[in-house]
Structure 1
């Protein structure tokens, strides 16, 4: 099964065989005893699990870890389940709405990258190149990305299946006026953004901040070199700096609530903000998906 996520400046193209969308995730997903086996084109065995979800949840048979006696999938793929078509009809996007894929955040979490620096591990050799200190705070964007848990992998998949348009950080940085074409903008875990993107998002009147910790740090995007560099935020360049934009609606502490047992939206100046990180629940929560649609 050859799946590629191609990032280009204006749009995100999703190319796959059989309609799957490549996602790498660290999330814990429960499994059940009954599994339907499928065969992928590259002869790796896929299983269709009975994970509790509104969608079919696929995984490679051997792509798991055993943690405290529990089988945990590393990679999952979502697909529409024909038996839930009536449910989808009530959940699918019916407005001019767009989701912003956090490509800059995906890059920031790559290795070596921003988090290599935060851990104090940048002064070493990576891939035959010696990195020292601030070198890790400039990261070249890749032509292909498999989104991680930290870049809202499940959220991106699910909302794509429900017919939401997909934009990227790059789209907005290069053409901030593009947001005015949409009635509703949905942010994922867009932790790292440029100042141009930040201003464009705050200028839109109806933004759904679906993941806490969005708009947390400022990066510079060099279009010629195709790389991002950390400018301000996340305790940089001063240890006392948290939000790089000094944004009054920063809700970063709430990103650590991944169970979403007391999930609710709060009204802010230009939209609505969720109080938990919904990556583990979005694919199976009909009420949440309906609320996102209705905003």
Structure 2
């Protein structure tokens, strides 16, 4: 509990620094927010000044910064310049679709990466190992938008196995594969190297000498002890899910935070862009915190080291 508390308290300065950078960068972007809100509608100088006062843009930079941090802690990051709606509510309305895509991408990435890595690690320096690593390398190397378009053409248009657009589980298959292949490639390569290293340890030779089957040795002894590096990579690749969602949602015309972010950047909707970056960085930090806390559950040696 003391370790978990220290890790949770360590998140606070990280969020403080990232949110400070986000606020500072947003303030440096050229353009008058009032003009962006008016979107070309004629307005008198008095109306413009009243709007600036309402948005708090007439206050000093430091005061606006303190107000921003206070609102960020409460989850209130202002209103969109375009829609005049609270950005938190706009994000919550689109978050469900992005979470579905992220979950689908994680399932595909973890499943395919674990399978390829395990097979390659148990059969090193064979044609099976080479084939698995070629598939993993292709998943890492090929751009997400190209994979998405190929999947649409082959499985959506030519074979018509799954729908290209729409809602439901069937329409989530192709976007999940598009997002998950990149994760699967890096995950498979790290699992392979971890499995090869674990299979050479003394406890594996002891398990073989005791007459245990290869499946029990591989999954109960080798895999669990080899999962620390892949789990670390998984926490880092949460950012890949967010970046992949931006491309994949546009390719498959799906609603979500990725599409919202692109539209907000093109429209220079600074509060919405700022809110999306703030929530994304917070989610990224918290997920990596959870991954760090999972180490002790995966490998008891980590708990002994902390003690």
TM-score, normalised relative to structure 1: 0.25
User: Greater helix share, 1 or 2?
Assistant: 2
RCO comparison, higher one (Cα < 8 Å, 6+): 2
| Greater C-alpha Rg | 2
User: Greater strand share, 1 or 2?
Assistant: 1
TM-score, normalised relative to structure 2: 0.24
